Chain A
């Protein structure tokens, strides 16, 4: 019993511990630089453990509602954790642990003079991400979005040089996105006088025809679209991902966009609810088409890149399209939302693994350009293998994680035939075409790493290649993610996640799948 009661307090602890730890790192870092990594790792690990208790509690006992300071909801801030929050929280913290372990050596190498600020800001980023995930108050969510964004601007800029410009562009666009989000909140508050999500969802239905409410929805959608880098609004993202330090790119690519997607799902389903969307079918169709165009455009842009990290960044633009397409299809079929939710974790794992591997190539040989990758498969066998597995997963070869998403989304598109008519087949076509485009730009890399021979090897004798792997503390996290690409892929196909899916979809008001 004790454990269960404790678990109800974990939501606030997860955020509080993280925030305190961020300041502790600054203080401890003055005394001993090495302690920073240890404190950060320990904190995030602790958070992860708490998060898994939260998930367990939510699945067995139902939604947790935590009132900060004992204030009752419409006035006080409330944390509401249902299955979806808990799941996103675990994804975020798991990737957080992986990246913080990886960053120890990577940051020593890339930012030797900024170790203390790095870990402090990193911890703030995690705090913000956890906050967005757990809060049930929409203004509180905005605050955490800002904390996260500010931390991200700082982390990206820490690489200096071209990263400064990338960070500045991100700062400008990110602020516009946040402003839109805030405007949306303002409109809703003006109309309803409430900021609590549950409360809003009860107050809004009679006001769905109100122009202010509709405008608020558009502000939310556009603001968050900038944050998640949905296709036409992605311009900040490739530079930011390319020039940030490797560990930073990995954590931002893997978790930040996912949490923003989560925020979008939350706003659509827990604030505006399904009825709102169903009334405006054309909004729904528009979202799907934008996502579909984004999927193709992102892949085509990725094919045009030579810089590996930039290529992966464009690939993210395309993959975000998958998630948004799933969200767009979800008013018609629960499979759409399932695809979106599944892809939140799948893409986090795959893209995390790819960026960690890309970071490994940079760490060891300073390789940025795909054209220089010849023989990498022999020189760094494990990092290359991890990259290959994750790439195959991105292409969607069964039984990988990418395959599961593809399956869900294709079926969701097929089920929307009755509503969307011809467009539904277009979406199926887009999903299938996209996996071929993924093949084009990933296989180019794999072919170079393993199969293309050096010019010297072709002309003369085989050049002696020495194996030289990255340090274990970088290698192990990469390999764990690579293994998960397959394991999670198989898990999504089985019945095992069913209780979680039922819970999550039920809380969002979508009818249950199977």
Chain B
């Protein structure tokens, strides 16, 4: 246990930048306003990085900001390996999305840019707060901040359509916040603590079975940000937002906070043992299995929905819903490999999905096309963008050279492990994983086919190469390159920076499984 103020400073970076962004607004120069965003992002990322060596030594960084009136509950931060993985993911991707936003917003001459960048900064406060929080109450506070701060981003266009999407967004997420709050207070009432504890809070085991089941489902409803079916429809609806916002929602902050929370509940509040011991209806259906069923259902159904979408962003949104359930499933398998896969998939899916969204945005800015059916020949106009798109689309389906392969490999291992150790039924989930990956192929490959091999209708044939502005192109290339590096790192043991991610995952998995 190390006492360091670093987590507080990490949160303070964007929290202080936000009022600065408001203050500098349009005057004297938007560059100064954007300067605050970038400066905060870089300092924040550096601070998060500086915590890595400490955590790698197996220590935990703790900083208690203040003790609350509730005995045993402090408002404070605790950085463990798992929290740091999420913090690293969101803080690094946030810088890239910010750069991209600058390019995107300026290229489209969007209105209300000050409000946009302000909300962007507050959103990352929420996301990092969730990653670093010590207990459920602290997490709840940041969770709500995240919900409220992303609302102005979702309704950025201010069209009636955007406003109704915003209402839906609030209706789902703030209602879920209510369940979350109830679950937090109930946990405190039952155990007298809400700290995330390796292997679960011991006192929770003595609570009545029915209470534990209801509490667990309240937690699940509380983490609707994870967009599990049938409560997913806010996510595709929120696609009316500008593309960088979708990238923020899908890869950096919002949905990741949801799955992060679910993994926290499974591994650090209930604990793997309790999840496998408490049964819902009869002895066969444990909490773990129930969660796995929800995840499996979501994976298959979301993919079927994705196939039917023509709007590229909506198709990606359903793909996100599916991929999030991979993470939930990994945790729900309650095996070390499953949890390993789930934890890895948080950063890996972040890097891949952000690339896909950034590509979609770049295509929209350059060609103005939103629907897949109109994208014939885009691969020739924007070769670099589409190359990045292709690599990460391969990764999404679990094919090298992008890193999605590794997390899926561990998830499959995890389900096999569950088959061996828990019950023979669990082998079903291996098939679910494989079928879902197959469906991934079915909806990603037509996009590539249209972009590269279809001739645009009624066109001169001579296509000029026209890429997005550098502000937009560079971030998406970086994320695409990193999705490859992660894989190379793992297979060839290159020991480049990204190796740390694997070490962190190992520590986190070691913490939660016995």
Contacts and interface: CB of A to CB of B under 8 A. Distances in A.
B217 interface: no
A397 B163 CA distance: 20
A66 to B, nearest CB: 32
A378 B180 CA distance: 34
Interface stretch (B64-72, B321-329, B449-457): B64-72
A236 interface: no
B490 interface: no
B54 interface: no
B178 A513 contact: no
Interface string A237-264: 0000000000000000000000000000
Contacts of B141: 398-399, 403
Given A410-B182, A410-B185, A415-B189, A443 B170 contact: yes
A451 B158 contact: yes
A414 B69 contact: no
A420 interface: no
A414 B170 CA distance: 26
A407 B188 CA distance: 11
Contacts of B506: none
B67 A451 contact: no
Given A492-B69, A494-B66, A411 B185 contact: yes
Nearest to A414: B189
Which of A407, A414, A428 is the most central at the interface, judged by chain B CB atoms within 10 Å of its CB?
A407
A493 B75 CA distance: 9
Given A397-B144, A436-B175, A411 B70 contact: yes
- Which secondary structure dominates chain A's binding surface? helix
Interface string A383-401: 0000000001001011100
Interface string B174-185: 110010011001
B155 interface: yes
A411 B189 CA distance: 7
A398 B70 CA distance: 16
B140 interface: yes
A435 B176 CA distance: 12
B174 A436 contact: yes
Contact of A498 (B69, B144, B155, B167): B69
B69 A493 contact: yes
A447 B163 contact: yes
A79 B186 CA distance: 42
Interface in A449-464: 450-453
A493 B148 contact: no
Contacts of A495: 66-69
Contacts of B167: 443, 447
Contacts of A436: 174-175, 178
Contacts of A411: 70, 185, 188-189
B166 interface: yes
Contacts of A415: 189
A417 B167 CA distance: 34
B189 A514 contact: no
Contacts of A439: 170, 174
A432 interface: yes
B441 interface: no
A217 to B, nearest CB: 31
B145 interface: yes
Interface in A359-417: 392, 395, 397-399, 403, 406-408, 410-411, 414-415, 417
Contacts of A407: 70, 181, 185
A451 B145 contact: no
Interface in A476-514: 492-495, 497-498, 501, 513-514
Contact of B148 (A338, A397, A451, A498): A397
Given A399-B141, A443-B170, A493-B75, A432 B178 contact: yes
B335 to A, nearest CB: 34
Contact of A392 (B66, B75, B148, B178): B148
A435 B145 CA distance: 15
A417 B208 CA distance: 14
A340 B30 CA distance: 47
15 contacts: A395-B174, A397-B148, A398-B144, A410-B182, A414-B185, A428-B182, A436-B175, A439-B170, A439-B174, A443-B170, A447-B167, A492-B69, A493-B68, A493-B69, A494-B67
Closest 7 CB pairs of A and B: A398-B141, A414-B189, A432-B178, A494-B66, A514-B71, A493-B68, A410-B185
